[in-house]
Structure formats: C-alpha cells, structure tokens
Structure 1
C-alpha cells in the first residue's frame, strides 16, 4: 500500500504538468470570431483568433489567466498597440490592435516613449513590474496597426519557443459551430515531364458538381499528377469566412496527404507561399492549398507518408477515386470526391521556359552585367526555371533586371547587388534599389558600396536603381482645433517613404502618434504639461529613407 501511495505521489506532478491549461474570456460579452487560427494570408498564416467587438472600440480587455506583462509594443503597423502576458502554464497570451492600455501600463509606455523620443517602442518590463490576475482589465479594445476594423487579435504562444498555437481548443465551450467547411473547386497539376491531364501539361481548374461528389468536367490523366483545393470554413451566427483546420486527401481510400493547422512557428510562416498556388494567388487572389509536398517545404502542418509525397501516379487504365475530407475544430466535416480516369496519352516533355535553372537544395548565384543575386540553400521551395533578363537603357542610372517572368517567393531575404552606371546626383545616400511593378517603383533599400547598391529581396521580381532627392511633404490640418490641444498633420513621401519624424513645442519634445498608413500624425497636448493660455512654437521634422528632410515651423495658441 505504501509503495502504491508513493507511486501515485511520484506521478502527480507529471499529471499536473500535462493538464490542459485553462484560459478565461477576454471580454464580458459572448465571443464571436471574425477570423480563426491558420487562415491563409499573404506571406503568413493567421496566428490567432480575431474576436469581434460589436463594431466599436474601447471595450475592457481582461487578462485570460494569471501572469505578468512581459512585453508591450506600440507600432503604426502590425499589431499596433499590443500586450504580451506570460503565464505559469508555459504559455503567453498576446492582445493586438488595442486602443489603449490600463492606466499603470499607459503611464509606463508614455514614460518610455518620451525617454526614447519615439512613438514606436518595444518594451520588456521586469517580471515583477506588472503582475496580473485572470480577469484584470489590462487594456481597451481598438483598431490600431494593420487592422481592417475594430476587433481584438488574441494569440496563445508557447513561452519557451514563441510558437503560435491554435487558441480554439481553449475556447470551445464559449463558441457554437454547426457549419461545415465548404470547397469551391480543385486545381489539378501534371508533374512537368512526368504527367498529362486531358492532353495538356498545364494546370487546370475544376468546379464541383452533384454536391461535391464529382467535377463539372471529365478528368483523364496519365503519369504523375497533383491536386490543390480551394476551401473555407464557416461558423454559426456569423457571415465571415475562415480557414479549414484539417484537410485529408485519400486516393482509393488510402491517405496520401494531410494538413492540420494547429501550430505555426515564425520561421516557417513564409513557407505558406510554397503551400498555396502562389502564381494563381498573385494573379487572381484565389487561394488553392496544395495537397502535395514541395521538396523545399519546411511546414510541419503538412504531412505525407506516401512515397510520392502527395503526388499520385496514374499508370493503370482504371478509375482512381480522389476523396477530400475537410474538418473544423468542432468536428464539422465535409467530404468531396471525384474520379480521375486513367487513360494512356502522350506525356509532353518538360519544356524549359527560362535561362537560369535555380536549384532548391543548392546555393544559386545569378549574375548579369552590373547585377549579382545570391540565393542561399533553403530559400526556394522547389526548382525554379527563371527567365532572367537585362533591360538596357543607355540613359538610365542603372540597368533594370527581371529575375523571373512571374513573381517567385523566397523564404527569407537574399542579397542583391546592382551597379550604378550614371550618377546625376553626387550624394550616394540618395540612391536605392527599387522593385518595378508596371510603371510603379517600390522602395527596397540598400546601401552604397564602391559604386554598387547592396540590398536584400524576398522575391524574384524586377529590380533597378532609383534616386530620391525630394523631401517629404508636411501639411497642418484643422488648425481651428489646435487651441483645444488637438494637433494634426498630413505627411507624405511618394518615393523612398518616411523613415522618422520628431516634433517639439517651445523646444521640448512632444509625442505625435502615427497611423498605419504613415501619413497622419496627431498629438493631444492635454496629455502633456505644455502651458495653456499662451502662444507656442511648434517644429515638426520629417525625414525619408534617403535622408531628405522637411521642417515645418509655426506659432499657435493653446
């Protein structure tokens, strides 16, 4: 008996450590979602739950568990005003797009902003400074940063790895969902040089018929083919569209591919560009998720135990039954199926369309006169047959370089060097690498070194060198409201973009907030100790990324 008791006591801490942690609600009202975890987004998976706030801002946000505030960030873009609370359970909760912080946190943030003389701050308070209990009001909900409307972005991360995990399992009892995922169609691919579909090597879109039990067109194939699916989830009580948590593809009742979007690490986030049909998304904004693995994929949420890694071999004159199983976190499930008829037909040879074959598992160096791009191993998800072109213009500052005839994503930044052929401006800081899209030029950056611009790019696009010698613009707005302490400016820079700004009143730094488009600055003097009832001198200095500076000075009464 004593041995049994000792064994139970020995296992008790282990059992406790494996318990599912519990998280409370961040609001006093029922939870409704506008976005779920893992939704397919440009260059990333959505990392949390977007909780509706009844179309308004300013609702009290409660800590979802005991812990301490471990990080506070303020930024015009991204999460805007955000809080990070670390919990003893081994998780950290993140609250994004906040309107404001609790009074104690707000005082601390403002003090640090004035100390750093910067609106944007990234703070890591000591763990003893801001202890919170579950239910404490830590902020007010908002619409700050890169937000499309009032809501709270709630994340749950593993504290040790900073990995984002799906918060949905912690909130199942607070949500109701009886709606199943739905698919809008599939994309079929013939593997280059190894497969053919309906006599063609091109990828083809097919729509569902008979309630998802077949396709609107007959599919005849031979050789190796792959599939991608366009699908979304839906929830009871909302009209929003969500991501599908679980996808399985079976061929003749044997699983060849599965995906389960329950966790994502930041260093694998951009691998979404190899998971989706990137080319189709860039052209049409339609999201097709591939049901086969690219050789350079590093996503853990996609798996295949099949020797073909999701690619299917059609080598018999018979019918092959493809079945998709889509399931959400609540167990709502949809099944879609179609038949591929195995029919021998000539398999077209793989055709080279480019002049540079870039290998996914090797270091690739692309050079042309006046240009060098180095792509380290692991930056490509598959081999790329790139059509690299030099576009010469004898009067240009530098040649223009097309690195691919269609955008190709890179997993991380890769070094690009472009030589400058003419220097109409002597100041080398005014030159920068720009990405060309149609007639538009987009700032990439780069530094000057011995007649070259050296920068970093995350896509194979079209690049050149541009000059910016034009200072930003500054325009005061609503000056009739300045006497009440509300100061507003519109700022802009249509070339390299705004880098910094700084304002003073009577020679003393004052804090101006910046919006997500970096074109509006606002200051509430009632939150400062600026003397009222007298005239003041305001000076606002705005600099762009090429060092061009504009200064606005003016007098006003407050």
Structure 2
C-alpha cells in the first residue's frame, strides 16, 4: 500500500477574494420603497407567476441555513393541507420527473425557453398523462425510485397550466410546495424573489449575538479562541447588550447570529445579505443570490460548525475559510479577516438585509492593541494536512486519504485508538474528531485485528455515531468512503433483513383490501434493494418515507382467484430475506 505522509510545514495561505463586479439593483417592495439588493446580474421580473393560487406565504427562504446544506428554494405554505393545484410558472415543457424515498418524494421539473428551469417538490400527484408515463417507466425498469429525463415536447405546458397537486411527500415536515428556479445550463439554483416572486415583507432581520475569533494566522478549528457577545435592539437598530470598547489584537474574524421574518409568516428564516465594514470600507460580503448544488455542504464552512454541534447555536462567520468555494461570497478583503495591529480605534459595522431591503445594523468600537498577548502560531500535535493537498495518512493499521476540495482549512489531524467493541473485528480507530466538517468525502482503510475468514465479503466499516458506511475487503484492508470524521471499526453483516407483513399472511382473503402492506428492516449494512412479485410477475411496491410502510396497491390485472405474493429484500452485503404468501382476491 503506497504511503505519503503529510508532514511538510508551510505557512497558511491568506487569500484575498474580491468581486470583479457587484451590481446594486433596485428591488421594489409592496410598499413601493426602492431598496438596494446585492446581485451579480438582473433577472426577468415578469416572466414567471407564482406556483400556487394562494397568498404567497413561506415556511422556508432561499439560502436559509439547514443542517449540512443551504436551502435551495422557497417553501410555499399550503394552509396545512394537500391537494392544491400546482401551476407551471411559465411556458415550457416537462423535462424531468422524479420519485424518491426521502428528499422531494415526488417532483416535477419544467424547462422554460428563457434559460431557466422551475422545480416543484413534495407534490402529492401528477396529471393523469404524467402519472401513466411514470408508471410505465417504473414497470419497464422494475424500480420504485425513478429519475426520469422526459423527451422535449412530450408534455408541453403553458403558463398557468396545472401540472401537479400540492402534497407532503418525501422528507417534508408539513404540507407545502418546495419551489426552485434554476439556470438550465449550469443547474445553479437562483433566489426566486429576484424574479419578482416576492413575499410581503416589512420586517427587518433580528440580530442576537456577535462572535469574535482570535485567529492570528492559525487555521480555524474547535480550538480557535473565541467569545460570543449578546446583542439587543429592535426595528433594525442593534447594539451590544453590554456596551464596551473591544480590545483586540492580531488577525481577527467576526461572526453574527441573525435571522429574518417576513410579514406573512412567523417562521424564522435566513437573511439575504450580510456586509461587514471596517471604518466605512466593506471588507466582507455574503449574499444568497445563487449557488451550485455541489457547493451546498459548504454551509458547514460558512457557519461556526463546532458551536453548532456543541450548542445548536448558528453563528454565521464573516470570514471565509480558504477551502470554501461556494459562490455566496461576492466580495471580501483578506477573506474578511481583520488585522488589528495599529493601536488605533476602529469602527466595525454589520449590515444585514433581507431580499426586500429591510435592514438591521450593529456597530462595534474596537481598540487595536498590539501589546495584547497574541495567539501563538500553530504547532501541530498530529499530522499537518493542507486543504489544497492530496493528504494521505497511513500507520500500518489505518489509512486516510483526503483529496483537495474536502477540507475547508489546514488541519492538525489527530489519530488515536479506543478498545475493541463487542462484535467488532478491529479496535476503534478515532479519525480526528466530529468538529471538523468534510465537504464531500474521503477514503478510509482499516485493517482487521481478527481473521475475517469466510466473512470477508460481509465486512463493513461502522461509524460509531451513525452506523455502517459500507465497505469492501481488499488486500488485507476493509475500504469505505466516509463523509465525516469520527470513531470507526469493522463489523460483519451476515444477518438477512427482516420482513414484517402488516395485513397479509398465508391463506389471507384480500378481497376487501386495496393494498398489501409490509415493513422491512436491516440490522447493519442497510437495505440495498427490494422487489415484489405476484404470480411470478414484478409488481410496484412503494415505500413511504414518513411511515416506512411498503405497499402494493392492487391493479385491475389481479383477477379474482388465488394468487401467490412474494417479497424479497437484499441488504448491502447481499444477505437475502424473502416472504411468501398465498392469498385470495
């Protein structure tokens, strides 16, 4: 196994991001009061209508902070009900339809001739023609989950046409329509309110705290010295709860806790933009105009991730980690990091706006104090990894390979072991800690401490916090792709899944029953696939994300008489469980 230890020393890069062009566009609200909104370009204001014939009320805003992602659209409320007509927001054609376990549950995509695509998620049902197209695809491909690219011209729509009914499908916390507008070419998602699909809003953001991070050239981590100061105020004007002149020294980063509401809902949403000024000069700008989906995990670089894990506190850092590549930072000087080294008194101001231009500010007085104790430069206690390198750690028992683009900052990588857990085939390997987020993934190899024997092909790597991450045995190691740091060990999955019938058993009379219902579970590696058959012919078994119930709804081709039902589940290590029952219809 090749080894490339990551032990070279070098200074951490200080990048300076500046935006070539920031266009300040006038966005008119319901009160006809023009406000300045930070945008890189103009979007057509009259091209699209709202997706529902309901007053526009939202539960979630575009770019709102969610665990592990930025919210990619607007969540339009439907009065806690399902079944409202969903309208095409513009002329175009249905280009994609999707059925999935979790996520949107059911979604439809409409491509428009002006270069944008609209997305409608969590829908309850499609039009009869769309529904037949989906069912035909599912039966042809023998699959419940379906991501269907629809040929252009198959389903043409006009602005206002009903294309679906609103619902509560998939990973939805309540009835609503998740709505997006995407750039058709790049598939970047764009704030729908910039297209004129605005929400009534005369409420400025609410600021509750300021964070101060003493960086002094060191990478950001859970060990970064920091302090949080409470903020109070109202009507857009905020100040420190305990007014004071802050004594700061060296390279300093700031953060802010801020949320927003609109006039139509009590939900706490995200702000549109945050600017930080030093003595009147803007040194940092954040704006949720548009972003690509492969960037969305960078919310963990934007927020104080350790603080969120420890206290669920959402602090939005006003300095940019060097490995963060999301396009929500249109401007910065020195990545928003301020060097306080001149013994002068400075003004630091935060300007927070919603998309309608409602504004809240908080101002700080900072005395730059070079005589204060500076934070010592990083002296790695483990292995120094660089965010822009191919990092490879290997010690004979474990290997960790992290490719560029997965660390947001340089990392003092720590490794340790813990005692072997019952049923494990290796000691527990502590791969750094949970407070450092991974943007996407890294490769992890673990060498068994016990002979796997005939169970080598059943071995998986287990994250002690979340469960199996899969794995394959090769060359004396079990290898898997991991998405987070933590404690890992090897286990073996030789146990088949469990099938629990709900309303069917051998000999059942199902004449009055509209659907066969079951549950399934797996003890370790997770379900890989499932399939139902009646009289040897594949039938569609649907899986409900909320209830976890699997159901086959009888169709007209199941004629009266005796039939045989078979349901098979295969887990990720190819353990198989089968349930069979004869029934009368």
TM-score (normalised: structure 2): 0.86
Cα distance change of structure 1 residues 19 and 348 upon mapping to structure 2, 3 Å threshold: closer
- State whether residues 429 and 547 of structure 1, in contact with CA within 8 Å, keep that contact through their aligned partners in structure 2: no
Does 2:502 align with 1:502? no
Out of 209, 226, 232, the residue aligned to residue 185 of structure 1 is 209
Q: Structure 2 CA distance, aligned partners of 1:302 and 1:191? A: 20
User: What SS class does the counterpart of residue 309 from structure 2 fall into?
Assistant: helix
Q: Structure 2 CA distance, aligned partners of 1:312 and 1:109? A: 55
Out of 476, 481, 489, the residue aligned to residue 518 of structure 2 is 489
| Deviations, residues 511-536 of structure 1 (Å, cap 9, x unaligned) | 111122683201211x452113x332
Cα offset for 1:405? 3.1
Does 2:143 align with 1:118? yes
Does 2:437 align with 1:414? no
Q: Structure 2 CA distance, aligned partners of 1:357 and 1:420? A: 26
Aligned equivalent of 2:431: 403
Which structure has greater helix proportion? 1
Displacement over 6 Å in runs of 4+: none
Cα offset for 1:261? 0.5
Out of 347, 351, 358, the residue aligned to residue 374 of structure 2 is 347
Does 2:384 align with 1:357? yes
Cα offset for 1:425? 5.3
Q: Structure 2 CA distance, aligned partners of 1:389 and 1:529? A: 60
- State whether residues 255 and 317 of structure 2, in contact with CA within 8 Å, keep that contact through their aligned partners in structure 1: yes
Does 2:195 align with 1:170? yes
User: What SS class does the counterpart of residue 302 from structure 1 fall into?
Assistant: coil
| Deviations, residues 46-93 of structure 1 (Å, cap 9, x unaligned) | 111111011111211111111111111100111111111111010001
Does 2:396 align with 1:369? yes
User: What SS class does the counterpart of residue 124 from structure 2 fall into?
Assistant: strand
- State whether residues 286 and 329 of structure 2, in contact with CA within 8 Å, keep that contact through their aligned partners in structure 1: yes
User: What SS class does the counterpart of residue 273 from structure 1 fall into?
Assistant: helix
Aligned equivalent of 2:5: none
Q: Structure 2 CA distance, aligned partners of 1:172 and 1:50? A: 12
Q: Structure 2 CA distance, aligned partners of 1:500 and 1:416? A: 25
Cα distance change of structure 1 residues 172 and 156 upon mapping to structure 2, 3 Å threshold: closer
Does 2:262 align with 1:235? yes
Out of 354, 360, 367, the residue aligned to residue 328 of structure 1 is 354
Q: Which moved more, 1:200-209 or 1:47-56?
A: 200-209
Q: Structure 1 CA distance, aligned partners of 2:336 and 2:131? A: 51
Cα offset for 1:108? 0.6
Does 2:229 align with 1:206? yes
Q: How many residues align?
A: 531
Q: Structure 2 CA distance, aligned partners of 1:157 and 1:146? A: 21
**Which structure 2 residues correspond to residues 538-557 of structure 1 after superposition, within 5 A?**
538-557=565-584
Report the aligned-residue RMSD: 2.3
Cα offset for 1:237? 2.4
Q: Structure 1 CA distance, aligned partners of 2:556 and 2:468? A: 36
Aligned equivalent of 1:529: 557
- State whether residues 244 and 326 of structure 1, in contact with CA within 8 Å, keep that contact through their aligned partners in structure 2: yes
Q: Structure 1 CA distance, aligned partners of 2:197 and 2:92? A: 22
Aligned equivalent of 1:33: 58
Cα distance change of structure 1 residues 556 and 425 upon mapping to structure 2, 3 Å threshold: farther
Cα offset for 1:20? 4.7
- If asked which structure has higher relative contact order (CA below 8 Å, sep 6+), I would say 2
**Which structure 2 residues correspond to residues 435-454 of structure 1 after superposition, within 5 A?**
435-437=463-465, 442-454=467-479
- State whether residues 57 and 140 of structure 1, in contact with CA within 8 Å, keep that contact through their aligned partners in structure 2: yes
Out of 423, 426, 429, the residue aligned to residue 457 of structure 2 is 429
**Which structure 2 residues correspond to residues 460-479 of structure 1 after superposition, within 5 A?**
460-479=485-504
Aligned equivalent of 1:135: 160
Q: Which moved more, 1:143-152 or 1:216-225?
A: 216-225
Cα offset for 1:352? 4.2
- State whether residues 271 and 352 of structure 2, in contact with CA within 8 Å, keep that contact through their aligned partners in structure 1: yes
User: What SS class does the counterpart of residue 481 from structure 2 fall into?
Assistant: strand
Does 2:551 align with 1:515? no
Out of 96, 102, 106, the residue aligned to residue 131 of structure 2 is 106
Cα offset for 1:21? 5.5
Where structure 2 has 5 or more consecutive residues not aligned to the other structure, the ranges are 1-41
Aligned equivalent of 1:61: 86
Aligned equivalent of 1:4: none
Cα offset for 1:101? 0.9
Aligned equivalent of 1:299: 326
Cα offset for 1:500? 0.8
Q: Structure 1 CA distance, aligned partners of 2:117 and 2:73? A: 12
User: What SS class does the counterpart of residue 162 from structure 1 fall into?
Assistant: coil
Q: Structure 1 CA distance, aligned partners of 2:130 and 2:362? A: 51
Does 2:54 align with 1:22? no
Q: Structure 2 CA distance, aligned partners of 1:89 and 1:356? A: 51
Q: Which moved more, 1:266-275 or 1:110-119?
A: 266-275
Q: Structure 2 CA distance, aligned partners of 1:76 and 1:178? A: 38
Does 2:310 align with 1:310? no
Q: Structure 2 CA distance, aligned partners of 1:458 and 1:519? A: 25
| Deviations, residues 237-279 of structure 1 (Å, cap 9, x unaligned) | 2111111101101122221111111101122222221111111
Cα offset for 1:319? 3.1
- State whether residues 224 and 313 of structure 1, in contact with CA within 8 Å, keep that contact through their aligned partners in structure 2: yes
- State whether residues 91 and 158 of structure 1, in contact with CA within 8 Å, keep that contact through their aligned partners in structure 2: yes
User: What SS class does the counterpart of residue 541 from structure 1 fall into?
Assistant: strand
TM-score (normalised: structure 1): 0.90
Q: Structure 2 CA distance, aligned partners of 1:284 and 1:295? A: 25
Where structure 1 has 5 or more consecutive residues not aligned to the other structure, the ranges are 1-16
Out of 204, 216, 235, the residue aligned to residue 242 of structure 2 is 216
User: What SS class does the counterpart of residue 545 from structure 2 fall into?
Assistant: coil
